[in-house]
Structure 1
Amino acid sequence: MPDEDETGDVSSWPTGRLLSVAARVLESRFDDVLARHNLTHAGLIALHHLAGRPRSQRELAMRCRVTDQTMSRTIERLRRNEFVARAHDPADRRRSIVRLTEAGERVLATARREERESELLLGVIDDYEHFRGQLLKLIRHASPDR
């Protein structure tokens, strides 16, 4: 007799595997949403951290938990799409200051709305805010540095 996992019954999977597969499926679907707006996950995260105030490229890299070089590529792509503007810091010309443009504010708002209203999430999750709260609780418990 085959084991339940061999039959494709996902109910037999460990919770960690369920979370991992769910994350990959959602990320793949959201990649499509972001691509329609010329965004990537990295770009969306950068825009999120720029909402509210301009930041130096280094500060933005630290907040996004990536290297300066990776952030430089992300910012350049966002700049080409006119979602951010980059300028030299008047106090220290070696530093770059990055700020959201109006187009960046609009695309960030659109991406956030489309994530909340995702057909995939709404079709499965009864209470989006409760689900989001549970995810935050899990992440904070599992990694206290976040």
Structure 2
Amino acid sequence: MLAVLAGGPRSQREIADFLGVTEQTTSRMLTGLERSGFVARRRHEVDRRRQVVAVTPSGMSALAALDDPDTVERLLGDALSPAQLATLRDLLVLLVEHGRSADAD
């Protein structure tokens, strides 16, 4: 979620579409991230019915910490094999790159 928002603010619907999940699931994830101070929701400047979600400085710090392989390995513990961990890293890089290319379009 933080990686998706690192490219810039998005609506909840845009986030859900990007992640391939429901808006309800996205809302639950955002609530936890918001409580932790990693994201902030605000009203859209033009369409006051919509909310826009943006990553906060704390969220960017958390995302940067996840760029450290040691941090990721500590979080995951022994849940993944080295091969699975490498696959996860590759998939996360693809997700971030896709988000950046979508922002450029």
Between the aligned residues of both structures, percent identity stands at 40
Match of 1:47 in 2: 2
Match of 2:90 in 1: 132
Tell me whether 109-118 or 73-82 shows the greater mean CA deviation: 109-118
Tell me the secondary structure at the aligned position of residue 92 of structure 1: coil
Q: Which one of the candidate residues 42, 56, 60 is aligned to 1:101? A: 56
Counterparts of 1:94 and 1:71, CA distance in 2: 18
Structure 2: state its 5+ residue gaps.
95-105
Max Rg structure: 1
Counterparts of 1:124 and 1:80, CA distance in 2: 32
Q: CA deviation at 1:132?
A: 3.5
* Residues 88/124 of structure 1: CA separation in 2 closer, same or farther (3 Å cut): closer
Contact 2:6-2:60 at 8 Å conserved across structures: yes
Q: Which one of the candidate residues 52, 55, 64 is aligned to 2:19? A: 64
Contact 2:65-2:71 at 8 Å conserved across structures: no
Match of 1:83 in 2: 38
Q: TM-score, normalised by structure 2?
A: 0.66
Q: Which one of the candidate residues 110, 114, 118 is aligned to 2:65? A: 110
Structure 1: state its 5+ residue gaps.
1-45, 137-146
Counterparts of 1:64 and 1:74, CA distance in 2: 12
Which ranges of 4 or more aligned residues in structure 1 deviate by more than 4 Å? Answer: none
Q: TM-score, normalised by structure 1?
A: 0.49
* Residues 55/115 of structure 1: CA separation in 2 closer, same or farther (3 Å cut): farther
Q: Report the number of matched residues.
A: 84
